[in-house]
Amino acid sequence: MKIAIIGAGAMGSIFGSMLSTVSDVFLITTNKEHVKAINKTGLKIGENDGTFKKYNLFASDDPKDINGEVDLAIIFTKSYHTKDAAISAVPILQHDGLALTLQNGLGNHGVIADILGEKRTVAGVTSHGGILVEPGFVRHAGTGLTHFSSPGADSEKVAKVAEVFNAAGIETSISDNLDTLIWGKLIINVGINALTAILRVQNGILGITPECEKIMGKAVSEAVKVADALGIRLPYTNPFDQVKEVCKKTAENRASMLQDILKGSRTEVGVINRAIVAKGIATGVPTPYNLFLSEIVEALEATTKSRCI
């Protein structure tokens, strides 16, 4: 299978490296230094146990540099770049190829489907985590299951993608309920991302600090009530226990929102905690904790250049 990773930051690099063991993979990222390092010395992926591997992959900041069309485009960009990513996939994706989003937050599937069509769009979630340590070097900071859902796509083609993922060591299954997948991951992100960004701590700290657990539990409870109001069935019976379990399994990981704040970049709070606020307003469910977390993260974004430390 010929695969393009559009948005080859930390997560895209991890998936690209693993998939390259069974497929032809092309990495596309706007990070020119990352591109330069990968093409010069290879992509280095480090594990939490201190081991690492190097992968020789093609990387570019321009999708037009890909030779020929691809069977699969995996979109790993930030949510606010989803439309541009989908547009960039148009000329490189085969007419019957698939685009898979493994991004955070609500709304990405619809944006991609509007451009490529429902039959070519697959949504998924993953529990893997990664940190871009420096150009050409990514730490694989957390592992877990990956799930796809494809209500409008060719089931045989989606099954083939899952088969390739599993062959590459990415444990993957297919679900028939897209909302369950997306909201299951969303609630994990609601509990972890904003709080780590505000406190500047790794995931594991949240699950072992009572003061953090209190806030995390309130934000998760609000999100669950919104999901209930929308009639969405979650993939686990105890959401807060699930969030704490993810904190434990990804203890060494720096959540993507924390990484963004540390880099002075725009975050995805708008499609995570802020999305819960919007859905709460629509359903009449109060969401004060998610509103507060959203506003604090937005204030951090707005004051990046004025930071004292």
| pLDDT tens digit sequence for 177-222 | 989 999 999 999 999 999 999 999 999 999 999 999 999 999 999 9
| pLDDT tens digit sequence for 139-190 | 998 888 999 998 888 899 999 999 999 999 999 999 989 899 999 999 999 9
Helix axes of 210-229 and 239-249: crossing angle, nearest 10 degrees: 130
Residue position matching structure tokens 């990046």: 304
Contact 30, 67 (CB under 8 A): no
Domain annotation for the chain: domains and CATH numbers: 2-176 (3.40.50.720), 179-306 (1.10.1040.10)
| Active-site amino acid positions | 185
Is the pLDDT score of 309 beyond 90? no
Contacts for 206 with CB less than 8 Å, ≥ 6 apart: 191, 192, 195, 196, 212, 213, 216, 244, 247
The pTM score is 0.92
